[in-house]
Amino acid sequence: MKVIVVALLISSLLSLKTEAAPELLDSVSVIVDQGVVLESQITELITVVKRNAALNSQTLPSDRVLRTQAIEKLIVDNLQMQMAERMGIQISDPQLEQTITNIAEGENMSIAQFREKVAQEGVAYDTYREEIRKELILGEVRRANVRRRVYITEQEISNLVKLIDEQGDQQAEYNLGHILIEFPIEPTDEDIKQAKERADKVIELLEKGSDFSRIATASSGGPRALEGGDLGWMNINSMPTLFAEAVQKKSKDDLIGPMRSGAGFHILKVKDLRGIEKVEIAEVNGRHILISPSVILSDEKAEKMLKEFREQILAGEADFAELAKEHSADPGSALKGGELGWADPSTYVPEFSETLGKLEIDEISQPVRTQYGWHLMQLTGKRVGDATEKRKQEKAYNLLFQRKFAEESDVWLREIRASAYIELIAQQGE
């Protein structure tokens, strides 16, 4: 009898194997220009969103709404990745590993501890690595395409410096939630009317106590919809102008909107507030030579090249500035002999900042690897004090750039989405 049961079990398994052979393990859900979004990608993103929501005690909308938002994000990401491929943008393994190391250090963890944390969250480490690589590529694509759309005048900088002086350093920061009820790039009166009605309905639900993050995930057309509309902490001068004017004198938990822009109707929630205390600024002055590895210049050869430069400079056989002018891959400083000027060291990437901070005046570092390549650095000065006029202008420029970059990024993403060929493929059971 036992032999018969085993034989039947084997026969059943063979039958299942034969029947399962033609089973489709994955399928194309969306055609996106020259690319596709797979059903497995949609499922994986929804799983990640649900896991993050559970960790943060965030409520979510229905699976159908969540799927729609996930598809939209994957479409936009896919379009950017196609653009990255055309532009030849890549992130090397050393760059990727350095970025992950920075993330781990930011959480006060070793790489081994960080890998364990990723595994505990149910994510394969290789999958996590490739997701970080993708995010880095998306960032490079956006910077390359949006930076040239940002134009800042001297008058804007002067006006903001004056405003900062008037406000002093006791400026508030706002942790904002954001919902965008969008309409088409060239809306009709009916489009605007319908969007306004939806926005008013959202405000009504929120005023009755509905969960902001849940409604944002379900209804928002903004770039942070899947994060519950969380914009994070923002200084008033780095917000879009529309938001900056609206949040002033608002209190925690206040709702703001609907406010109309070219993208649609915006709804904000002041999730929290905090002040900024005045601090003394420690600045460093230095110079560097950057050698970027490439197809024809390996990582090892780039490092060796800088070691040789260091030996030549210390022996008096070469001049730091001349080597920088001739060899440095940093266009912003190469023509100035590698000079970086006075700066807050925190504005540099961690490896660069840490090395520069440990040097004595005029000391030359060993080659240091960052995400940009290999650097040879020399510290030329240190000082501590209040920000200079130049520092104020740099701060004003950075705040204006952050504001305009965010605004232009949203517009650019909407434009590439609107001009793309998108075809949704019906799945079985839909």
User: Which pLDDT score is estimated for 13?
Assistant: 34
Phi and psi at residue 268, to the nearest 5°: -115, 150
The reply to whether 281-385 shares the fold of 167-277 is: yes
Decide if pLDDT at 144 tops 80.
yes
| Residue 124: per-residue pLDDT | 86
- pLDDT 10s digits, 179-193: 999 998 889 999 999
pLDDT at position 387: 55
Q: Band of the pLDDT at 347, cuts 50, 70, 90?
A: confident
The residue with greater pLDDT, 166 or 133, is 133
CATH of domain 167-277: 3.10.50.40
Geometric angle at alpha carbon 240, from 237 and 242, rounded to 5°: 110
Contacts of 263 (CB under 8 A, 6+ apart): 180, 182, 183, 221, 410, 411, 414
pTM for this one? 0.54
Question: Average pLDDT of the chain?
Answer: 85
Lowest mean pLDDT segment, chosen from 4-13, 126-135, 222-231, 320-329: 4-13
Q: Please tell me the predicted confidence (pLDDT) of residue 14.
A: 36
Indicate the pLDDT class of residue 170, thresholds 50, 70 and 90: very low
Report pLDDT digits (tens) over 76-98.
Answer: 999 999 999 999 888 888 889 99
Cβ atoms of 80 and 140 within 8 Å: the answer is no
What local confidence, expressed as pLDDT, does residue 10 receive?
A: 33
pLDDT score, position 19: 42
Q: Residue 343's pLDDT is what?
A: 86
Phi, psi of 376 (to 5 degrees): -115, 120
Q: Is a pLDDT exceeding 60 seen at residue 416?
A: yes
C-alpha dihedral sign at 287, 293, 296, 297? positive
Share of the chain above pLDDT 70, in %: 89
CA distances from 408 to 86, 217, 229, 241, 362 (A): 21, 22, 18, 13, 42
Q: Domain spans of the chain?
A: 167-277, 281-385
9 vs 332, more confident: 332
pLDDT band at 176 (very low <50, low <70, confident <90, very high): very high
The arithmetic mean of pLDDT across residues 406-421, rounded, is 91
- pLDDT score, position 430: 58
Question: Which band of pLDDT confidence, cut at 50, 70 and 90, is reported for residue 244?
Answer: confident
Range with the poorest average pLDDT among 78-87, 131-140, 230-239, 303-312:
230-239
CATH of 281-385, one of 3.10.50.40, 2.40.50.140, 3.40.50.2300, 3.40.1160.10: 3.10.50.40
Q: Please give the Cα distance from 375 to 98 (Å, whole number).
A: 14
Q: What contacts 400, CB < 8 A, 6 or more positions away?
A: 152, 156, 157, 160, 237
Amino acid identity for residue 130 in this structure: E
pLDDT tens, 245-289? 898 778 888 999 899 998 999 999 999 888 744 446 778 899 999
Whether the CA torsion 140, 133, 224, 157 is positive or negative: it is negative
pLDDT band at 238 (very low <50, low <70, confident <90, very high): confident
User: Residues 1-27: what's their mean pLDDT?
Assistant: 42
Query: What is the arithmetic mean of pLDDT over 104-126?
Result: 88
- Give mean pLDDT, residues 59-78: 90
Counting every residue written for the chain, the total comes to: 430
Burial of residue 219 (CB within 10 Å: 0-12, 13-18, 19+) is: buried
Q: What is the pLDDT of residue 388?
A: 57
* SS (HEC) of the chain: CHHHHHHHHHHHHHHHHHHHCCCCCCCEEEEECCEEEEHHHHHHHHHHHHHHHHHCCCCCCCHHHHHHHHHHHHHHHHHHHHHHHHHCCCCCHHHHHHHHHHHHHHCCCCHHHHHHHHHHCCCCHHHHHHHHHHHHHHHHHHHHHHHHHCCCCHHHHHHHHHHHHHHCCCCEEEEEEEEEEECCCCCCHHHHHHHHHHHHHHHHHHHCCCCHHHHHHHHCCCCCHHHCCEEEEEECCCCCHHHHHHHCCCCCCCEEEEEECCCEEEEEEEEEEEECCCCCEEEEEEEEEEECCCCCCCHHHHHHHHHHHHHHHHCCCCCHHHHHHHHCCCHHHHCCCCECCCECHHHCCHHHHHHHHHCCCCCECCCEEECCEEEEEEEEEEEEECCCHHHHHHHHHHHHHHHHHHHHHHHHHHHHHHCCCEEECCCCCC
Per-residue pLDDT, 413: 92
Whether residue 167 is predicted with pLDDT greater than 70 in this model: the reply is: no
